[in-house]
Structures are given as C-alpha cells and as structure tokens.
Amino acid sequence: MSSRTFPLLRQLGYLEKNHVRVKDPVKTEELLQRLISGGFPKLQIVADFDYTLTRVHDETGKRLHCSWGVLDNSPLMPEFYRPESKVLLDKYYPVEISPHLTEQEKIPQMVDWYKQVQELLARSRITSISVRQMVEESNTQLRIGTESLLASLEASEVPVLVFSAGMGDILMHILRKFQLYSPNVKIVSNFFKYDYEDCVVGFENETIHMFNKNENVIHSSPYFKNMSGRNNVILLGDSLGDIKMAHGVPDPGAILKIGFLNDKGSLLPQVEERLSSYEEAFDVVLIDDQTMDAPMAIVKLML
C-alpha cells in the first residue's frame, strides 16, 4: 500500500497503530474527507458516556467506576444495595452481551432489569445531596484528552449529545465535577425522580436501556431537527447498541462511528472474541484505548 493511499487515515495515524482497527479503509477515508470538508458548522457529536467518555481502568489497571458503579461502591448506600445490585448484574448482564440471543429476545429482560433497579433505588432512600457527594468521592475518571476534546468542541460551537443508558444525575455531576457541563452539551439519560423528601423513587421518564437508544424520545423530539445543517456526525460508543444513537439525524451526511472495544476483565468475553463484531459495526475500533486521541486528531484537522 503506497504512502499516498488513504492520506487522512495515515495522517491521523489510524493505519500504523496496532490498537486501531479500520476494516474498510476506503469507506472510512471517504467519511473523513466529508467530515473535514464540512467543517465544524456541519458537525455534531453523539456520544455514549459510561466507558466511552469515561475510562475503564487507570495506568495501574485499577478498575474505575461507571455511573452505576458510583452507587455500587459508595459507603453512603445502605448495606443491602450492593449485594442486591450485584445479583441483578450477574443475572441480566450476560443477557445484554450474549451473542446467542436476538435484540428482541433481550429487550424484555432489560426492561425487567431496569424496573428492579428502580425498586432497589426507591428502597435505598438516597437524596440529591448524597448523590452529589457520591460522585465527588468516586474514582470515576474521564478518558485522557476528554477535557481538551470537549473544550475544543465548545469553542467551535459544536453540539454534543451525551446519550446514555446510565444514570443521568450522576453523569451530570461527573461532567460538572470536571467543569465540562457546558451549554453545548445535552444529556439524554435516566434522570432520577425525587419525592417530597428529596429521596429517589425511580426514573423520571421512559427508561433508556442499551437496546432502545434508537427509539427513545430524543429521536421524536425537536433535538435533531434543531441541528439544522449539522448532518455530519462523529459517533462515540463502547457497545454494539450505541451505533444506533444517531438514527434520528435528518438527511444524514457523513456519520463516522468510533467504537471503544474495552477490556472489562471477567465481565465480558475477551477482546479477541468481540473484535469481529465491533469491526462490522464501527468504522474505527480502538482496542483498550483509555484516551480520546483518535477523535481529537480529527477535530485538530478541522481547526
């Protein structure tokens, strides 16, 4: 392959790095050309949160908390919460990631899982104040370079939609903790509903789980319609269900899908077992990459 082939992919370093996989370089090069040609005025970002904007582990290999993990690992939660939450995780998470079940077979069980989580939260009687404190005390970290990426997008007035099946209040407080909840960022997630005593009683609106991110209210709301002219998208996700997050974009142009193939230890099959399905779903696959270097490199070409 000559040095003149796929100039943008080579300039970005995507073809030279072992942890970056591009199954269809012809298609991906074309998408990059259209993204960069359109520039910031035509761009929007659609990103998952847990283990997409946030890191899975630190430099020592220590596991870091996702939004669910903030509660699971907080001493402020009642003693019964963590073991009961783990029972639900052990029962339903294998269903979510199973390659042997169809999406339609998984959805009813995801609904059951989230329903039971809400019941568990209601029994826990946590308040908005304790939620903020849990976030402050958690070990959640953003991927290296996330601050720079979001700052560049804010400065360039690029809208960022954070679309998550996690817990919206926790996402919001994490972004505020790192001073990144800027006006161009919109969160669509499972926000808590509070009672008159300021205790969580469940989720506010329709539950968002991994397999209805393409059907949620955001896609029937004015959000994407208000993104007039912004029909180019950089989509960031770490699960196969994330690829549907941008389905509501009207008259879609270039939609570049970047997938973080995380090593989650015993929670998931090994990276090698999942690589093929990720390469089919995402244009660019980043294997156990705890940085935002790949998307930031694209943004830098637009500056």
Active site residues: 48, 50
Q: For residue 135, give the 3-state DSSP assignment.
A: helix
Cα dist from 192 to 32, 201, 207, 227, whole Å: 38, 7, 11, 27
Decide if 116 contacts 86 (C-beta within 8 A): no
Write the DSSP symbol of residue 288.
S
Question: For residue 35, what are its two tokens?
Answer: 């993204």
* CB proximity list for 284: less than 8 A, separation 6 or greater: 14, 20, 21, 22, 28, 256, 257, 258, 259, 294
* Residue in the structure block whose two tokens are 């205790």: 199
Decide if 9 contacts 29 (C-beta within 8 A): yes
Q: What is the CA radius of gyration of the chain?
A: 19
